[in-house]
Amino acid sequence: MRKAENWIPYWPFAVWLLSGVLHLMLYRVEFTYGFSQLFYGTITLLWGISIRKRVTDLRLQRLLIAVTAFLLLYIVLQEARYSLFVDSMLAERYLWYSFYIPLTFLPLLCFCVALCVYRPQEQKLPAFYGWIAAIGVLLALGVITNDFHFSFKSFPNGVMMDLGHEQNGWLYYGISAFIYGLFILSFAIMLWKSRRYKGKHFRWLPIAHLAVGIVYFLIYPLNISGLLFGKRLWNIGETLTFCLIGALEACIQGGLIPANTDYEKLFSLAQLSAAILDQQGTLRYVSGREAKPLQANDSIRIMRHPIFGGQLEWAVDLSDLQRLNRELEETAQKLEARNAYLTEESRVKAEKTELETRNAIYDRITRIVRPQIDRINALLDQPEEAFHEKMRMITVMSAYIKRRSNMELLAKNDLLPLDELTMAVMETADTLRLCGIEAASAAKVQGTMPAGLVMAAYEQIERVIEDSFSSLSGLMVSIKTERNTLTVRMLLTAETVTLSASSIPSPAPGCTQTQTVTKDGQDLLLLFTFSAGGEGP
- What pLDDT score was predicted for residue 80? 83
User: Cβ(414)–Cβ(461) under 8 Å?
Assistant: no
Query: Which of 466-486 are b and which e, b meaning 16 or more Cβ less than 10 Å from the residue's Cβ?
Result: bbbbeebeebbbbbebeeebb
Parallel, antiparallel or unpaired: strands 523-532 and 438-444: unpaired
Instruction: Please indicate whether residue 340 or residue 156 has the higher confidence score (pLDDT).
Output: 340
pLDDT digit string, tens, across residues 476-507 = 999 998 878 889 998 888 776 665 545 554 55
For residue 392, the number of C-alpha atoms closer than 13 Å in the C-beta half-sphere is 17
pLDDT digit string, tens, across residues 87-103 = 788 888 888 889 899 99
The mean per-residue pLDDT over the stretch 280-289 comes to 70
Residue type, 75: I
- What pLDDT score was predicted for residue 407? 85
- What pLDDT score was predicted for residue 78? 82
User: Cβ(286)–Cβ(274) under 8 Å?
Assistant: yes
- What pLDDT score was predicted for residue 70? 92
Instruction: Please indicate whether residue 507 or residue 535 has the higher confidence score (pLDDT).
Output: 507
Burial of residue 515 (number of CB atoms within 10 Å: 0-12, 13-18, 19+): middle
pLDDT band at 174 (very low <50, low <70, confident <90, very high): very high
Lowest mean pLDDT among 234-243, 333-342, 524-533: 234-243
The mean per-residue pLDDT over the stretch 344-365 comes to 81
Instruction: Please indicate whether residue 296 or residue 452 has the higher confidence score (pLDDT).
Output: 452
Instruction: Please indicate whether residue 536 or residue 420 has the higher confidence score (pLDDT).
Output: 420
Lowest mean pLDDT among 125-134, 242-251, 496-505, 518-527: 496-505
CA distance 409 to 221: 124
Query: Which of 72-89 are b and which e, b meaning 16 or more Cβ less than 10 Å from the residue's Cβ?
Result: bbbbbbbbebbeeeeeee
Question: Residue 265: in which H helix or E strand, if any?
Answer: helix 263-269
- What pLDDT score was predicted for residue 500? 52
- What pLDDT score was predicted for residue 3? 42
- What pLDDT score was predicted for residue 385? 60
- What pLDDT score was predicted for residue 139? 92
The mean per-residue pLDDT over the stretch 281-291 comes to 66
Residue 449 carries which DSSP code? Answer: E
- φ, ψ of residue 279 in degrees (nearest 5): -65, -25
pLDDT band at 178 (very low <50, low <70, confident <90, very high): very high
Question: pLDDT at residue 382 above 70?
Answer: yes
| 23: three-class secondary structure by DSSP | helix
Question: pLDDT at residue 138 above 90?
Answer: yes
pTM score over 0.75: no
Residues 6 or more apart whose CB falls under 8 angstroms from that of 190 comprise 113, 114, 117, 206, 251, 256, 257
Question: pLDDT at residue 5 above 50?
Answer: no
pLDDT digit string, tens, across residues 398-446 = 888 888 888 888 887 788 888 888 999 999 999 888 888 888 988 888 8
Instruction: Please indicate whether residue 230 or residue 38 has the higher confidence score (pLDDT).
Output: 38
The mean per-residue pLDDT over the stretch 20-24 comes to 66
The mean per-residue pLDDT over the stretch 114-122 comes to 81
- What pLDDT score was predicted for residue 507? 57
Residues 6 or more apart whose CB falls under 8 angstroms from that of 421 comprise 407, 443, 445, 454, 457, 458, 479
- What pLDDT score was predicted for residue 492? 87
Question: pLDDT at residue 267 above 80?
Answer: no
Instruction: Please indicate whether residue 413 or residue 154 has the higher confidence score (pLDDT).
Output: 154
The mean per-residue pLDDT over the stretch 237-245 comes to 78
The mean per-residue pLDDT over the stretch 366-377 comes to 81
Round to the nearest angstrom and report the end-to-end CA distance of the chain: 105
Question: pLDDT at residue 220 above 90?
Answer: no
pLDDT digit string, tens, across residues 47-65 = 888 888 778 778 888 888 9
CA distance 323 to 404: 66
pLDDT digit string, tens, across residues 447-474 = 888 888 888 888 888 888 888 888 888 8
- What pLDDT score was predicted for residue 2? 43
Question: pLDDT at residue 319 above 90?
Answer: no
Q: What's the mean pLDDT when you consider all of the chain? A: 78
- What pLDDT score was predicted for residue 537? 39
Question: pLDDT at residue 222 above 50?
Answer: yes
Question: pLDDT at residue 231 above 70?
Answer: no
Lowest mean pLDDT among 114-118, 306-310, 393-397: 306-310
Question: pLDDT at residue 11 above 90?
Answer: no
pLDDT band at 4 (very low <50, low <70, confident <90, very high): very low
CA distance 140 to 172: 10
- CA quadruple 491, 497, 499, 504: dihedral sign: positive
Question: pLDDT at residue 116 above 60?
Answer: yes
Instruction: Please indicate whether residue 76 or residue 232 has the higher confidence score (pLDDT).
Output: 76
Question: pLDDT at residue 535 above 90?
Answer: no
